[in-house]
Chains A and B, each alone.
Chain A
Amino acid sequence: MSGKYSRREILGHAARGTVLLGLGGTAAVLATKAHKTYAWVIDAEKCVNSKLGVLGVDVCELCASECVITMSAVRAVNEFSQCGRCYICPAYYKITSAVGPDGLPSEKVCPTDAIQRKAIGWIDPDDPANNFYDYTIDERLCNGCGRCVMECKEPAGLSSIRLEVRHNVCLDCNRCSIAQVCPEEAYDRREPVTT
């Protein structure tokens, strides 16, 4: 063949170009929606630990035990605007435990001591029970066991605590090991609410 390229080289270039075009086209189609984040999300209304009316059920700790990450990607989160900020929080204190010398229950619910209790403002020393307390969950300690979620449920609490998947920690496995064993099928893969 005359000319700079042999027929074989031209065919080779053509084939390469076609495949590259195909790959590029695929990448372009995918890139149009690649800004969205998809992650595993727990539907708090389905989660057995927060479902109203499901009393007498043992706390479900699968979110803590099943995650492939050592420290589960699930955390408990307190929705402050719905929190009662009570003196004796049933999710902080184990209300069935014996009363300590200060009149408060002696045992706590959280196994990793992740809930922090802080008084809001000035405490009247004669009437501490009529004060408000903020309950914050330390993310570095919380392992997503769900006990506080269960205790905060109606009628003991106001159901302000829920379990949430930390999608910056979550590996977004195609087969989420928690999603497969969740008894209420509360896991779904969709855009997480970040606000």
Chain B
Amino acid sequence: MRVLADSRVPLCAGRWRLGFLVFLFLVFCVAPQVVAQQIDYSRQAEVAPDEETIGEGYVTPEVQHPRSRSARRQLFDVALLALALALAAWLALKKRSRVGLVWLTVGCLAYFGFFREGCICPIGSIQNVTLALFDQAYAVPYFVIAIFILPLIAALFWGRVFCSGVCALGAIQELFCLKPLRVPPRIDRALGWLKWIYLAVAIYYAVLPAVDRDFVICRYDPFVGLFRFTGQAWLLILGAAFLVAGVFIGRPYCRWLCPYGALLSVCSRYAWRSFSITPDRELDCGLCADACPYGAIEERRAVRTSCFACGRCYRSCPVHRVEDSGGAAPNPNAGLPSVDRVAR
């Protein structure tokens, strides 16, 4: 027993020594925090000192307030929009160049889409303009009025050139329209009513009182998340789905959902000079009708209200292919009276 007690003593002593060393180590670690003092803080002044108290000719500095909004950048954006619309009109109506329109599409997507991140866009501006008309307490600045009005005025003169490649949302869908299938006209027409419903819903929600107000066009914009590389997951997936669907069914959002497109279709209906397929400059063979992904050619003539001025019909036209490769095609329709507008 005693031997056991004796033999236990060294073991106990070792355990105690170890424990003491551990304790010392912990104290060494914790002590700096505990021992290092915080200042004994108490508020030095109960009231802000005035200039006389501070003395020495001290003047209270001006509180930093933000500068006013840069008018230059807004003006630049409006000017660029006007320029892009004019360029689209020239490329589509005068030059009849699909290549030029594609480059314009890419450029506008890069600037208005990815650089400006899709905001402010004329589609969303419908809500702000409506609100400003209905609500005394709200106003839109000049450049928003310009962004809302310019594509509509362009449509009144040259048709839907805004859709042609200037609209960032349209541009990204346009570049994805690679293997378009033909949508039966009745379905196309039926679906076309959706954009009027969306327009009505957007206006309704925009003019509600502030607590209920909801800018639905902005909230449910499927493409702005792609421009910003961030957003709600379901909306990003929806945007991607639109693009994937758009590979086969050309520009679904533009044709059937865009509320601004509803306004543009009204304005382009009375366009002064719009996108046209004529027997003088083209062939009247009807090949273009197959080339149009948006069903905007009927009876060999462009339908102004739904033509996006993309130029694919020109690319498929035998006359233009000959012209573009440097030759001059004989025109079998020369001398015949020309009707260049569908009566609608």
Contacts and interface: CB of A to CB of B under 8 A. Distances in A.
Interface stretch (B64-72, B161-169, B317-325): B64-72
Given A16-B270, A38-B138, A157-B43, A82 B65 contact: no
A37 B66 CA distance: 13
SS class of chain A's interface: helix, strand, loop or mixed? Answer: loop
Interface string B119-135: 10000100111001100
Nearest to B157: A16
Contacts of A192: 66
B45 A174 contact: no
Interface stretch (B145-153, B283-291, B326-334): B145-153
A79 B67 CA distance: 17
Interface in B39-56: 39, 41, 43-45, 47-49, 54-56
Contact of B69 (A16, A96, A168): A168
Interface string B242-277: 000000000000000000000000110110100000
A96 B36 CA distance: 11
Given A20-B153, A23-B153, A95-B39, A30 B139 contact: yes
A97 B56 contact: no
Given A15-B270, A16-B270, A81-B60, A97 B133 contact: no
Interface residues of A, number: 69
Contacts of A83: 48
Size bracket, chain B contacts:
35 or more
Contacts of A129: 44
Contacts of A88: 39, 41, 44
A26 B140 CA distance: 12
A116 B266 CA distance: 58
Contacts of A136: 61, 64
A168 B44 CA distance: 36
Contact of B63 (A19, A80, A132, A171): A80
Given A27-B149, A174-B124, A84 B48 contact: yes
B59 to A, nearest CB: 10
Given A12-B270, A85-B54, A164 B218 contact: no
Interface string B17-53: 0000000000000000100111101011101110000
A62 to B, nearest CB: 16
Contacts of B218: 173-175
B48 A85 contact: yes
Given A19-B156, A31-B142, A84-B45, A105 B38 contact: yes
A99 B37 contact: yes
A122 interface: yes
B54 A23 contact: no
B215 interface: yes
A20 to B, nearest CB: 6
Contacts, number: 160
A171 B227 CA distance: 15
B189 interface: no
A156 to B, nearest CB: 6
A109 interface: no
A96 B266 CA distance: 67
Interface centre among A30, A85, A158, by most chain B C-beta atoms within 10 angstroms, is A30
B184 interface: no
A174 B48 contact: no
A29 interface: yes
Interface string A133-147: 010110100000000
A106 to B, nearest CB: 9
A34 interface: yes
Contact of A121 (B37, B58, B124, B267): B58
Closest 9 interchain pairs by CB?
A174-B215, A121-B56, A84-B45, A33-B139, A98-B36, A86-B44, A15-B270, A166-B66, A95-B41
14 contacts: A12-B270, A15-B269, A20-B153, A23-B149, A38-B138, A38-B139, A77-B63, A85-B54, A86-B43, A99-B37, A164-B66, A168-B68, A171-B119, A194-B65
Given A104-B39, A160-B48, 19 more contacts: A16-B270, A23-B153, A26-B129, A31-B142, A38-B141, A79-B63, A82-B48, A84-B44, A84-B48, A88-B39, A88-B44, A97-B38, A105-B39, A156-B41, A156-B43, A166-B66, A173-B218, A174-B127, A174-B128
Interface of A: 12, 15-16, 19-20, 23, 26-27, 29-31, 33-34, 36-38, 68, 75, 77-88, 90, 95-99, 103-105, 120-122, 129, 132, 134, 136-137, 139, 155-158, 160, 164-169, 171, 173-175, 189-190, 192-195
